[in-house]
A and B are shown apart, each in its own frame.
Chain A
Amino acid sequence: MAPAIASAEQGQSIPERAAPAISSRLRIAENQPPADAVPASTTGPELHVRRPGSDLMVEIFKALGIEYVAVMPGSTFRGLHESIVNFGGNQAPEIIVCTHEEASTAIAHGYAKVAGKPMVSLVHSNVGLQHASMAIYNAWCDRVPLIIIAGNILDATQRRPGVEWYHTAQDLGSMVRDFVKWDDTPVSLQHYAESFVRAYSIAMTPPMEPVLIVADADLQEEPVVDRTKLKIPALARVSPPSGDSGSVAEAARLLAGAANPLIVADRAVRTAEGLPLMVQLAELLNAPVVDQLCRMNFPTTHYLNQTWLQRKLVAEADVILCLELSDVYGLTHSMADVIGRQTRSLLKPNAKVISISSGYGYLKSNQQDFERYFAADVTMAADAQATLPALIREIERLATPSMRSAIAARTERLQGQYRGMREAAVQEAALAWDASPVSTARLSQELWAQIKSEPWALVSNSVFVSRWPQRLWDFTEHYQYIGAEGGYGVGYGFPAAAGAALAHAKAGRLSVSIQTDGDFMVLPSVLWTLAHHSIPLLSVMHNNRAWHQETMHVQRMACRRDRNPERAPIGTVLSDPDIDYAAMARSMGVWAEGPILDPGRLGPAIARALKVVKSGKPALLDVVTQPR
Chain B
Amino acid sequence: MRRISHFRCRSNADAWIASFWLLVLVAGALSGLFGAAQAAGKESPGYAVFVAKGCFECHGYLGQGSIYTGPAIAPNPISLDAMRAYVRAPSGQMPPYSSSILTDSELAQIHDYLSSVPAPRPPDKIRLLPQIPASARQTDGVRPAEPAASGNVSALYAANCASCHGAAGEGGVGPSLRAESSKRELAQTVELISAPRPPMPKLYPAVLSRTQVEDLAQYIRSLR
Contacts and interface: CB of A to CB of B under 8 A. Distances in A.
14 contacts: A416-B138, A420-B176, A422-B132, A423-B136, A428-B64, A428-B67, A430-B120, A446-B128, A467-B67, A552-B57, A558-B101, A562-B100, A562-B101, A627-B58
Nearest to B58: A552
Interface string A410-436: 000000100110111011111111110
A628 B68 contact: yes
A308 interface: yes
A32 to B, nearest CB: 54
A430 B54 contact: no
A562 B72 contact: no
B172 A445 contact: no
Contacts of A420: 138, 170-171, 176
Contact of B172 (A416, A424, A556, A558): A424
A485 to B, nearest CB: 16
B112 to A, nearest CB: 18
Contact of A548 (B57, B72, B126, B136): B57
Given A420-B171, A565-B101, A429 B65 contact: no
State which size class the interface on A falls in: 35 or more
A104 interface: no
A417 B96 CA distance: 34
B128 A445 contact: yes
A551 B64 CA distance: 19
Contact of B65 (A428, A448, A548, A558): A428
A439 B95 contact: no
Interface in A540-581: 548, 551-552, 555-556, 558-560, 562-566, 568-569
A433 B176 contact: no
B165 to A, nearest CB: 11
A208 B200 CA distance: 42
Contact of B132 (A308, A423, A435, A558): A423
A312 B69 CA distance: 18
B54 A568 contact: yes
B129 A445 contact: yes
A427 B143 CA distance: 10
B54 A551 contact: yes
Nearest to A557: B95
Interface string A438-479: 011010011011000000000000010011000010000000
A58 to B, nearest CB: 46
Interface of B: 52-54, 56-58, 60-62, 64-69, 72, 92-93, 95-98, 100-101, 120-123, 126, 128-130, 132, 136-139, 142, 170-172, 175-176, 198
Interface in A591-628: 626-628
Nearest to A336: B93
Contact of A552 (B69, B100, B136, B139): B69
Contact of B52 (A422, A563, A566): A566
B61 A626 contact: yes
Nearest to B49: A566
B122 A430 contact: yes
A238 interface: no
A337 interface: yes
B188 to A, nearest CB: 16
A405 to B, nearest CB: 22
A338 interface: yes
B96 A627 contact: no
A568 B56 CA distance: 13
A559 B57 contact: no
Q: Which 6 A-B pairs have the closest CB atoms?
A: A559-B95, A628-B66, A431-B64, A432-B64, A445-B128, A432-B62
Interface in A120-161: none
Contacts of B142: 427, 430
A599 to B, nearest CB: 10
A430 B130 contact: no
B62 A431 contact: yes
Nearest to A473: B130
A439 B54 CA distance: 17
A440 B176 CA distance: 25
A337 B156 CA distance: 31
B36 to A, nearest CB: 15
B171 A626 contact: no
Contact of A559 (B60, B65, B68, B101): B101
A74 interface: no
Contact of A433 (B69, B72, B120, B171): B120
Contacts of B60: 431-432, 435, 439, 626-628
Nearest to B42: A436
Contacts of B121: 430, 433-434
A489 interface: no
A276 interface: no
A456 to B, nearest CB: 16
Given A336-B93, A430-B121, A565 B61 contact: no
Given A426-B132, A559-B97, A560-B95, A419 B138 contact: yes
Contacts of A548: 57
Given A424-B172, A431-B60, 17 more contacts: A422-B130, A423-B137, A424-B171, A427-B172, A429-B129, A430-B120, A430-B123, A431-B62, A431-B64, A431-B120, A439-B64, A466-B68, A558-B95, A563-B101, A566-B53, A569-B54, A628-B68
A437 interface: yes
Contacts of A568: 54, 57
A568 B176 CA distance: 35
Given A432-B60, A566-B54, A568-B54, A466 B66 contact: yes
A435 B37 CA distance: 13
Contacts of A626: 60-61, 64
B123 A427 contact: yes
